Structures are given as C-alpha cells and as structure tokens.
C-alpha cells in the first residue's frame, strides 16, 4: 500500500507555483524525511495530503487510493502542524477531552499514560507548558487517534536539542512498535539521518530524488581527486562538485567503485550530504541512474 501517491500534482497560489508536476509514491511502513529549502513546496504537499488544500492540477491519493479529506482519510491520518496548534487556555485533560469528542477513534488510556510518563500534568494549561511539552502534547493527541499515517510539518523547528531528541524518539517508537507510517518535514537533517529510512527531496516544487535511504546511499559515492582532473569524470552522472585548491569532492550517482579513474578515491555518502547535494543542484534530478525510481512496494 502507498500512503501517499501523486501523479502530475501541481498547486498554484495566484501566479506562484508551489508544486509543479510532482509525481511521487511513498510506500507504507517507513519514516519518511521530506526535505527542501524554504519555498520548495513541502508544506503545500503536506496540506494537500491531509485535505487542507485542493490541487490545481494532477491527482493525489492517500492510504491506498483514498481521497484526501475523505472520512476514511481523516480517520487514518493524524497531522501535527509546525506551530503545534493547541488551545492555550485549556488544560491537557481538556485537550484530551476535545480531541476524543472530535474523532471516532481515540485511545484515552494510552494518552493519559503517556502524558504521565513524560511528566505533563493533566491539570496544567497548554499555554503554561514549555515548547517541548506542547510539542509532546500535540504528538500525544495525534498518536492517540491510532493513525495509519502520522504527518509532521517542521515539528521540532523551535525545540531545544533535548526536547527535539525526545520528540523524535517518540516518533520512532510509534513507527517501530505501533506500525505507524510517518511523513516528517524538517530542516534538521542531523535528526532525520538518525530516524528516517526513506527520503524525499523537494526543490522548486518538484521531486529531486526519492527512495529508501539504504538504496539511495548505496547508489551514490563521493569521489575525491585532483581538481585538474575533474573532466575525467565527465561520463559519470555527477550530482555536485565541490572544488578545493588541490582536491575536488564529487558526489556521483554510481552503484559500484569499478571504473574509478586512477588517482581518485571513492567514499560512501551520508544522508545529509546526499540531500544537500540535490538541494544545491536541483537539475541533477534529470541524471540517469538506478536510484531515481520511486518503488511502490512496501518494505520495512
């Protein structure tokens, strides 16, 4: 099952095109990192997926062909927005009560147990909680709905390192223990590298690269060699080149070290380095290579 699938998806706001011919298939059972610069279309894609906006062109389905915003989609998707929207004058207990009455499925017992575990008093007003506690309360409300897909839009942007780490640990636990698929938009690439097993890079409203992290990392290498000999790599699908005074560092789309020119060394690439390379070189999305495929099969 694909938790999100789009074909030729576009969204415009007046003359501004936020998404442009976005085609994507995200299988269930993954923690998906959605990365891109400001204005890349990340929040627009998430808004479309949860039914808060309608496409200008193309098609988008969720949870194996459900329409975003439909009753089945609303039941199966939980969304935590960037500003962790809470009623600041309501207590944590009141927030549980409101959320329970607005949803057909809500696990009150697990929500109360989780808040007790992380030290959030039920009687304390949401506005009196720290930023990390507010984020945890919003996440608790979302998970208590027992969703199939948890959508998070920059949930840790305003959190300190400890709160960010605790939040991401909870997300990862839900994915592993409860089988929740997660789509997480964030600028904090170091945190994503720790938890994500699927990557989607957006730039200029288009998908630059998408796939399982292990496959993407296996399909790219960093080649280090003399600046004067960069031209010897012309036949390789080069994503990004960083020139030093003597050495050049070339991230290329290759699946093996065979054929590395003499005088060059090959090194594995990390998730952050890979994502940054595609963000710096959005035209690299058109390069040939086996890692561009967006596999519709679900693998855990």
- Provide the pLDDT for residue 258: 67
CB 134 within 8 A of CB 90: no
pLDDT band at 81 (very low <50, low <70, confident <90, very high): confident
pLDDT band at 286 (very low <50, low <70, confident <90, very high): low
Distance CA 292, CA 210 (A): 7
- Provide the pLDDT for residue 296: 33
pLDDT band at 10 (very low <50, low <70, confident <90, very high): very high
Q: Which CATH architecture has domain 2-214?
A: 3-Layer(aba) Sandwich (3.40)
Tokens representing 280? 């710096």
Cα separations in angstroms, 13 against 20, 124, 154, 176, 243: 12, 40, 21, 38, 38
| pLDDT at position 282 over 80 | no
- Provide the pLDDT for residue 284: 67
Quote the mean pLDDT of the chain: 87
Cα separations in angstroms, 121 against 133, 136, 158: 10, 12, 22
What DSSP assignment string belongs to 21-88? EEEEEEESS-EEEEE--TTSSHHHHHHHHTTSS--SEEEEEETTTBPTTSHHHHHHEEEE-TT----T
pLDDT band at 166 (very low <50, low <70, confident <90, very high): confident
Per residue in 211-261, pLDDT (tens digit) is: 999 999 988 989 899 888 888 887 778 889 888 888 889 998 887 766 788
Distance CA 153, CA 251 (A): 29
| pLDDT at position 291 over 60 | no
pLDDT band at 287 (very low <50, low <70, confident <90, very high): low
- Show me where the domains of the chain are located: 2-214, 221-268
- Provide the pLDDT for residue 48: 94
Distance CA 176, CA 12 (A): 36
Contacts of 298 (CB under 8 A, 6+ apart): 1, 2, 27, 28, 29, 30
Percentage of residues in the chain having pLDDT higher than 70 = 93
Residue with the larger pLDDT of the pair 262 and 299:
262
C-alpha 193: how far from chain center? 11
Mean pLDDT of 29-47: 91
| pLDDT at position 274 over 70 | yes
Per residue in 55-71, pLDDT (tens digit) is: 999 999 999 989 999 99
Mean pLDDT of 176-191: 86
- Provide the pLDDT for residue 139: 92
């Amino acid at each position: 099952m694909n938790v999100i699938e789009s074909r030729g998806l576009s969204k415009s706001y007046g003359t501004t095109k936020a998404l442009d011919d976005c085609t994507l298939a995200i299988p269930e059972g993954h923690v998906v990192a959605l990365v891109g610069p400001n204005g890349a279309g990340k929040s627009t894609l998430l808004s479309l997926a949860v039914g808060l906006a309608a496409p200008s062109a193309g098609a988008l389905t969720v949870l194996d062909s459900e329409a975003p915003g439909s009753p089945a989609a609303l039941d199966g998707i939980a969304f935590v927005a960037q500003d962790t929207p809470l009623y600041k004058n309501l207590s944590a207990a009141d927030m549980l009560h409101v959320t329970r009455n607005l949803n057909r499925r809500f696990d009150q017992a697990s929500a109360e147990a989780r808040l007790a575990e992380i030290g959030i008093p039920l009687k304390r007003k949401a506005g009196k909680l720290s930023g990390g506690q507010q984020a945890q309360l919003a996440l608790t409300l979302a998970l208590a709905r027992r969703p199939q897909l948890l959508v998070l839009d920059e949930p840790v942007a305003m959190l300190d390192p400890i709160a960010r780490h605790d939040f991401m640990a909870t997300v990862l636990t839900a994915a592993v223990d409860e089988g929740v698929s997660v789509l997480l938009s964030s600028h904090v690439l170091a945190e994503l590298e720790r938890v994500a097993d699927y990557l989607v890079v957006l730039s200029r409203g288009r998908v630059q690269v998408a796939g399982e992290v292990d496959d993407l990392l296996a399909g790219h290498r960093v080649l280090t060699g003399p600046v004067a000999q960069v031209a010897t790599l012309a036949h390789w699908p080069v994503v990004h080149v960083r020139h030093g005074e003597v050495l050049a560092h070339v991230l290329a789309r290759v699946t093996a070290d065979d054929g590395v020119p003499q005088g060059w060394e090959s090194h594995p690439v990390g998730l952050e380095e890979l994502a940054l390379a595609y963000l710096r070189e959005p035209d690299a999305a058109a390069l040939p290579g086996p890692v561009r495929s967006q596999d519709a099969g679900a693998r855990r």
